[in-house]
Structure 1
Amino acid sequence: MILVTGATGTVGRAVIDQLRAAGAQVRATSRHPAAAQLPADVEVVQADLGDPTRMAAAMRDADRVFLLSTGPAIPEHDAVVARAAAEAGIARLVKLSSGRTGDDTATDPIPTWHRAGEQSVRAAGAPWTIVRPLGFMSNALHWAGTIRAHGAVYAPYGQGRIAVIDPRDIAAVVTVALTTDGHDGQVYTLSGPQALSPGEQTDILGDVLGRRLEFVEIAPEQARQAILDHGVPAELADAIMALRATALETFTSVVHDTVERLTGVPPRTFRQWVADHVAEFPSAAA
């Protein structure tokens, strides 16, 4: 039995799909199981990652755990889950971290939160593997609204490049780490096959969608306000903006061979990701 946390998010759901395809028995945690909308053969249990009692109950009869936590509570949640895993005798815990955690110069919130979480995972005592992806291709979905309304992508840091990765490729590595041997104590940094700027992503989006799209670089303050306007708390908005700024550094533009080395399949390109998600970018007429 493999326990999956963060099961209803982009990566968590992809992990569940790939584990099921591999024949694994899966249990998922959710704060609201009735709304999880997971496949019928996935056992869904109510649990909050900050609740030691609930997490201990969720791990009964499980032997492996996928840990996905987000936001300022990452250090606390990772510590709770890691301790519960060790006490339950879990044979393997795979934590989804952030690629920037591996940059020793990174002191902004998100890598700092994940670095503390990684320390808890290492210290708890259960065998562990850490997966550190760089930027997600799926973040481009945040541009769907302005693409539909204005035929444009608005983003800061236009000169920055990130070797973005398809969440399905992250899930493929997680699945390998959970279902095969030889990954204990390993840290895997993941990337897609090419570092791209927002403008280059916009060109690919327009080409695949069959629309002329414009890239408009905006000030960081304007981008932050747009995040706040979507209801994101100020602390998290600041953390997101700090992470976006790192696109201007070299670290996030480095291409890693980890996906192909571990799965035997090259990581998907951004063009492939867009082609697979065309329906999520409605036309202007829609």
Structure 2
Amino acid sequence: MTGATGAVGRHVARMLPADAEVRLLVRDVAKARRAGLRGEPVPGDYQDRPGLDRALRGADAVLVVTANPLRPADDENILAAARAGGVRRAVKLSWLGVADPAEDGLIARWNRDAEARLRASGLDWTVLRMRTPMSNTLAWAPSIRAEGVVRALGGSARSACVDPRDVAAVAVRALTAPGHAGRTYALTGPAPISVREQVRELSGVLRRPIGFEELTADQALARWRERLPEPLAQALLEAAVRRAGGASARTEGDVEAVTGRAPEAFASWAADHEPDFR
């Protein structure tokens, strides 16, 4: 597993069958152990071929999770080590925006290229195209705790955001069960929901008022620039503009088709994560 301590990967590690032998490629072994993840932490980085080889040698399947559009070689490095290590199956987390032909920003191009590399890898592949994970709202926790307010761009934009646990459930099936090779799944929540509606749901869970303050595009861009390189900050702004135009509102049925149950709503996710915001 790559991305084992991330929003989706941590749930995959916990959901895998009890008899599965799991290796976790991680930069910080201590962090992985503190997270209580089942599996053997193997130190390494996507640019560290010896670490990738140690993690992938003799494995049957690999979960491919990369996160930096400015490092497109990460996917190829993982796939090259997988081929060398005898891996047969690769399951790749991607972004549902790539299904929109009009979406041609940095993030979409990066994900499309990564998908193309996977399909050309010679491995049995499955692509999981996910909508924005509900866990992204955890970024609001500090301001909710300190000030009782959420500040964001595009408060009325609606997105069919998805519970990372639902994505993980699909990933586990693709990693461990037959019938998923050559498939591309579109993973969303059950209904589109706006930022303002998410804030209201969190207010209800916490049983106290939470305010919402709309950021301007310039304010949001300035915040992203504080922690991200300029190309990524601009890419997030472009994605927010498209989201405001309804690009992320469509729901898909693949979570239920693969798992046999409907995807979880944001209200359920928020209730389960109440301690993170309190």
TM range (shorter): over 0.9
CA distance in 2, matches of 1:179, 1:73: 31
In structure 2, stretches of 5+ residues that fail to align are none
Choose from 227, 232, 239 the match for 1:236. 232
Contact 1:74 1:117 in 2 (8 A): no
Task: Letter of the 1:15 partner, please give it.
Answer: V
Match of 1:147 in 2: 144
**Which stretch has the larger CA shift, 23-32 or 174-183?**
23-32
1:65 aligns with 2:48: no
CA distance in 2, matches of 1:178, 1:74: 25
Runs of 4+ in 1 over 6 A off after TM superposition: none
Match of 1:127 in 2: 124
Shift in Å, 1:110? 1.2
Q: How many residues align?
A: 277
1:170-202 per-position Cα deviation (integer Å, ceiling 9, x unaligned): 100100111111111111010001101111111
Shift in Å, 1:114? 1.1
1:246-273 per-position Cα deviation (integer Å, ceiling 9, x unaligned): 2123331111111111001211110001
Choose from 39, 43, 47 the match for 1:42. 39
1:254 aligns with 2:228: no
CA distance in 1, matches of 2:174, 2:113: 21
Match of 2:259 in 1: 263
Shift in Å, 1:68? 0.3
Identity of aligned residues (%): 38
CA distance in 1, matches of 2:134, 2:232: 20
Q: Kindly tell me: are residues 186 and 112 of structure 1, through their superposed partners in 2, closer, same or farther at Cα, counting changes over 3 Å?
A: same
CA distance in 1, matches of 2:30, 2:9: 17
SS of equivalent to 1:70: coil
Shift in Å, 1:22? 4.8
Contact 1:31 1:46 in 2 (8 A): yes
Match of 2:275 in 1: 279
Contact 1:143 1:153 in 2 (8 A): yes
1:139-184 per-position Cα deviation (integer Å, ceiling 9, x unaligned): 1111112222332221112231110111111100100111111111
Shift in Å, 1:235? 2.8
Shift in Å, 1:35? 3.3
CA distance in 1, matches of 2:240, 2:57: 39
Contact 1:220 1:241 in 2 (8 A): yes
Match of 2:26 in 1: 30
Shift in Å, 1:30? 1.0
Shift in Å, 1:41? 4.8
Contact 1:130 1:188 in 2 (8 A): yes
Contact 1:75 1:120 in 2 (8 A): no
1:48-84 per-position Cα deviation (integer Å, ceiling 9, x unaligned): 1123333223211211000000012452111111122
Choose from 13, 17, 21 the match for 1:16. 13
In structure 1, stretches of 5+ residues that fail to align are none
Contact 1:109 1:242 in 2 (8 A): no
1:108 aligns with 2:136: no
Contact 1:161 1:247 in 2 (8 A): yes
Choose from 29, 51, 54 the match for 2:51. 54
What TM-score comes out, normalization by structure 1 length?
Answer: 0.91
CA distance in 2, matches of 1:86, 1:198: 42
**Which stretch has the larger CA shift, 173-182 or 147-156?**
147-156
**Which stretch has the larger CA shift, 126-135 or 40-49?**
40-49
Contact 1:47 1:54 in 2 (8 A): yes
Contact 1:137 1:270 in 2 (8 A): yes
